[in-house]
Amino acid sequence: MKHVMRGLCLAIALCGVSQPASAQAGKPVTIVDANLVNEADLAKLPHMNAALAKAVAAKRPFKTVKDLEAALGSLSKADRAELYTKLFVPINLNTASDEEILLIPMVGNRMLKEFKEYRPYTALAQFHREIGKYVDNTELARLEQYVFVPIKK
C-alpha cells in the first residue's frame, strides 16, 4: 500500500510538469520522459546504474530539461548527450532557451535558428510544416519527440 500511495503522489506531482495538460506533444519514438520512466527502466539506459537512477528519480519532478541536466551532473557531457537519445524532458517550443534546444541530440546552431524563427508555434502541425522544410520525415519524427506546443484555450 505504501508503494501505491507513493506512486499516486508522484503521478499527481508530475501532472503538468513536463508539459501542460493542454498541449500537443511529440510522439515518443526513441526516448522516454525522465519524469515518467520507472526507476528500474531508468537504470537500464546508457551510462545509468541503479544508484544514479535512484538519485535521479529522487530529484523528480523535473520542470525543465535543465533540471534533468543538473541531476545528471556526475555524467560527462558526452555521456549525457548519448543518454539524451533515450531520455529527455520535453521542451516547450515557444519558451525553451537556446541552451535547452541545443540539448536535443544532433541539434546545432542552424536548427536552433529554425526552431526559434517560427515562434510562436500554435500546433505541432506548424512545427511539421516549418521544420519539415529542412529535414526528412524520419528526422522530423525524431525531433518532434523532444518538444511540445502548449494549446491556448
* pLDDT digit string, tens, across residues 39-96: 999 999 999 999 999 999 999 999 999 999 999 999 999 999 999 999 999 999 999 9
Fold (topology level) of 29-89: DNA polymerase; domain 1 (1.10.150)
So what's the pLDDT on residue 153? 67
Domain boundaries, the chain: 29-89, 90-153
So what's the pLDDT on residue 20? 52
Q: Check: CATH 3.40.50 for 90-153?
A: no
Stretch 24-28: mean pLDDT, rounded? 91
The separation between CA 22 and the C-alpha centre of its own chain, rounded to angstroms, equals 17
Question: CATH topology of 29-89 equal to that of 90-153?
Answer: yes
So what's the pLDDT on residue 21? 57
So what's the pLDDT on residue 51? 97
* pLDDT digit string, tens, across residues 96-142: 999 999 999 999 999 999 999 999 999 999 999 999 999 999 999 99
